[in-house]
Amino acid sequence: MTVHFIGAGPGDPDLITVRGRKLIEKCNICLFAGSLIPKELVGFSPPDAKVIDTSPLNLDEIIQIMIDANEQQQDIARLHSGDPSLYGAIAEQIRRLKALNINFDITPGVPTYAAAAAVLEQELTVPEISQTVILTRTTMKSSPMPPEEELENLAACKATLAIHLSIRNLRFVRRKLEPAYGRKCPVMIIYRATWPDQKIIRTTLENMFLDVRSEKITRTALILVGRIFEDINFSDSALYSPAHDHLFRNKKS
């Protein structure tokens, strides 16, 4: 018996990995997190599979399902939105499973920030503009941020920021970022990236709160911040330059 933690991707069921889909199709039990997982993915489960929405369950209740499945030697597909390594809350589940000697594995998924960049038709690392992307969130109802990872500290390097789980905290985000980035810094708000009701708001630190409020967005949105989203000129990457050589290509004069 194995608990398979599966990254379900950002929303579009076509973005599940081949391995992820195969695991869902063979597991006796499918655990998924309510509105964060498209029904089409859950529908890949066998007709006789037990499908359970874990939204109303606490950690102890979820682990008990895994214990019962282990006793019955039934594999579990445990679906997490995006990629489970980012804000997936799998660490505490894994800790319990290790203590119980229950087998598990992890199948990665397409993370939301990557899906957001795709729908924006945007590379997040462009020569001379930004070569660093910081994935973070802000403190709201969840556990507090480590002090050294507070937003104003991350802002000091002026990297591209992908701020998760913070769409209700926009005034705070602006206050912490504006000294480093400036009030006119571009901001991209992507609501439910790759879902049919996806929305994209192109705004600035100065205007993002009002723009988001006008669209009545209160959850399930990613905030991308940085100069990378300006319409600016940049140099071509050296990777494909005729003057650049590497293991597989010689320099051309």
Query: Residue 34 corresponds to which tokens in the numbers above?
Result: 């309510």
Query: For position 231, what pLDDT does the model report?
Result: 74
Other Cβ atoms less than 10 A from the Cβ of 73: the count is 9
Q: Which of 75, 107, 139 is the last residue of a domain?
A: 107
Residue 246, pLDDT score: 63
Residues 154 and 191 in one domain: yes
Give domain status of residue 152, yes or no: yes
Structure token pair of residue 40: 């089409």
Residues 70 and 144 placed together within one structural domain of the fold: no
Residues 39 and 142: beta-carbon distance below 8 Å: no
Spell out the residues 6+ positions from residue 147 whose beta carbon is closer than 8 angstroms to its own.
Answer: none
Q: Write the pLDDT tens digit of every residue in 138-165.
A: 987 778 889 899 999 999 999 999 999 9
pLDDT for res 177: 98
| 89 and 18 within one domain | yes
pLDDT at 253: 58
| Per-residue pLDDT at 174 | 97
The range of the structural domain enclosing residue 55 comes to: 3-107
How many domains, the chain? 2
Q: Could you tell me the sign of the dihedral formed by the alpha carbons of 145, 169, 164, 151, in that order?
A: negative
Structure tokens at 99: 């203590």
Identify whether 31 is part of a domain.
Answer: yes
DSSP class of 49: -
Same domain, 100 and 156: no
Of 84, 107, 130, which one is at a domain's C-terminal end? Answer: 107
Specify if 237 maps to a domain.
Answer: no
Q: What pLDDT is attached to residue 84?
A: 96
In a domain, 240, yes or no: no
Q: What is the CATH number of the domain that holds 61?
A: 3.40.1010.10
> What's residue 34's pLDDT?
87
Q: Tell whether 84 is covered by a domain.
A: yes
Whether residues 43 and 100 share a domain: the answer is yes
Q: What is the pLDDT of residue 241?
A: 65
Which residues of the chain, if any, have pLDDT below 70?
241, 243-253
**Could you give the 3-state DSSP secondary structure of residue 172?**
helix
Amino acid 233: pLDDT? 80
- Judge if 24 and 133 occupy the same domain: no
Same domain, 103 and 120: no
Query: Same domain, yes or no, for 42 and 99?
Result: yes
Among 81, 107, 133, the domain-final residue is: 107
pLDDT score at 128: 86
